[in-house]
């Protein structure tokens, strides 16, 4: 897989997670101040738009798409990890220098999507348990 195709796959994974990230940030942001003030008012409108989509729309945008994005990103990371010995070497020295990791924007973006996916689904799970 070429560097540009890895980057395209990483961008696809990020785009699949984007609606959930937007909803997540808007839901948190609207609670920071009363919804009569900006930007909480705009964020409240955004959250209400999402909630107006109904159960199936919410399921697709907030569960299915981010899950697919996280799986794609994890597969990209796994494949790149196995095929690129230079990446393994770079990550071995990550504690000493972060710069080699940043040379591969596709891997960096995919890692961010995996971390976001894990945090998002952990929060979703806790929310579901809390009722």
Confidence bin at 73 (pLDDT 50/70/90): very high
pLDDT exceeds 90 at position 107: no
49: its two tokens: 């738009």
Nearest to residue 20, comparing CAs of 41, 39, 46, 44? 46
Mention every residue, 6+ apart, whose C-beta is less than 8 A from residue 31.
40
Q: Chain centroid to CA 29: how far?
A: 17
Q: How much is the pLDDT for 51?
A: 93
pTM value is 0.71
57-72 pLDDT tens trace: 999 999 999 999 999 9
């Amino acid at each position: 897989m070429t560097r540009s195709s890895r980057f395209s796959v990483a961008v696809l994974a990020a785009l699949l997670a984007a609606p959930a990230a937007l909803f997540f940030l808007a839901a948190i942001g609207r609670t920071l101040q009363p919804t009569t003030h900006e930007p909480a008012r705009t964020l409240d409108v955004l959250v209400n738009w999402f909630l107006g989509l109904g159960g199936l729309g919410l399921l697709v945008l907030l569960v299915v798409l981010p899950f697919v994005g996280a799986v794609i990103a994890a597969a990209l990371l796994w494949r790149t990890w196995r095929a690129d010995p230079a990446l393994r070497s770079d990550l071995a020295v990550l504690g000493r220098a972060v710069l080699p990791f940043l040379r591969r924007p596709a891997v960096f973006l995919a890692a961010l999507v995996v971390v976001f996916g894990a945090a998002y689904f952990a929060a979703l799970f806790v929310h579901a348990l809390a009722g």
